[in-house]
Amino acid sequence: MNALAPEKRRAVGVDLTVGTFAEHIKAFGDLAEQHRSTYVCCVNAHMCVEAHRDAAFAAIVNNATFATTDGMPLLRELNRRHGLRQERVAGNDILPALLAEAAQRGLGVFLLGSTPEVLGRIRERALREHPTLRIAGMEAPPFKPFDQADAQATARRIEATGAQIVLVSLGCPKQERWMAAAQGHVRAVMLGLGGAFLLYAGMDTRAPKWMRDLSLEWSYRLALEPGRLWKRYLVTNTWFLWLLLCERLGMRK
């Protein structure tokens, strides 16, 4: 895999990176060692719908150096459409694997997003599992809409730490917009990982593997937080299924 120009294939309106999980992790590490200012989007149904609704956001996702197959329905469509055997490259799996890679290579990691409590738990677990890992810094910005000036100021603070990997959890689409704005200002690999922070911190649980394999992870999440997630999943999943149908009928490329 060419770390700077990985192969991509389109599915449901998004250009997705092709390659094994191990190749992705190695490529992220290679770019980090070179202080390359790049960003990674972990694409699922929600991100596909956001990209369909907003052309500017679609450009951010499609201009990412890597756009990994995070969601199972998206992965299945990618493989069906192009006759591939692409494996899932999900943020929940990237985070622990990349921390291990960073520790092995001596790369500095910065944690951006979530809450001070979550960041503290991530740091505690990461250093317990990888004593040589260098945490270059952590920041939990206030919850508010994306602001260009704030994004640039945050980028300057992170750049000053010398971090080579920036793990971001600001929620979609804010985290992707922040990474795109920070590209060229932060000489690091930036990865939008969303809920992976909570999972790694031990404050969230993941659906059993059989549910993930059957594309039922959303139903597990919905059962845990019905009051917060029912509307999002009803709208997002329905819209994604419509986009998928349009693609299969040749109405969308």
- The dihedral region occupied by 48, where left means phi > 0, alpha psi between -120 and 50, and beta the remainder, is alpha
Phi, psi of 221, deg, nearest 5: -65, -40
Q: How do residues 161-215 score in pLDDT, each as one tens digit?
A: 999 999 999 999 999 999 999 999 999 999 999 999 999 999 766 667 766 675 6
Joined together, the tokens standing for residue 154 give: 């945050």
Joined together, the tokens standing for residue 123 give: 């740091």
* Burial degree of 2 (CB within 10 A; 0-12, 13-18, 19+): exposed
The size of the chain, in residues, is 253
Topology annotation, domain 8-200: Rossmann fold (3.40.50)
Q: In the prediction, which pLDDT does 251 show?
A: 62
DSSP state for residue 201 in the 8-state scheme: T
Q: In the prediction, which pLDDT does 252 show?
A: 60
- Which stretches in the chain have pLDDT values below 50? none
Q: In the prediction, which pLDDT does 231 show?
A: 66
Q: In the prediction, which pLDDT does 143 show?
A: 81
Q: In the prediction, which pLDDT does 199 show?
A: 93
Q: In the prediction, which pLDDT does 57 show?
A: 97
Cα separation, 17 vs 24, in Å, equals: 9
Q: In the prediction, which pLDDT does 230 show?
A: 59
Where do you find CATH 3.40.50 in the chain?
8-200
The answer to whether 48 and 244 are in contact (CB under 8 A) is no
Q: In the prediction, which pLDDT does 147 show?
A: 82
pTM: 0.90
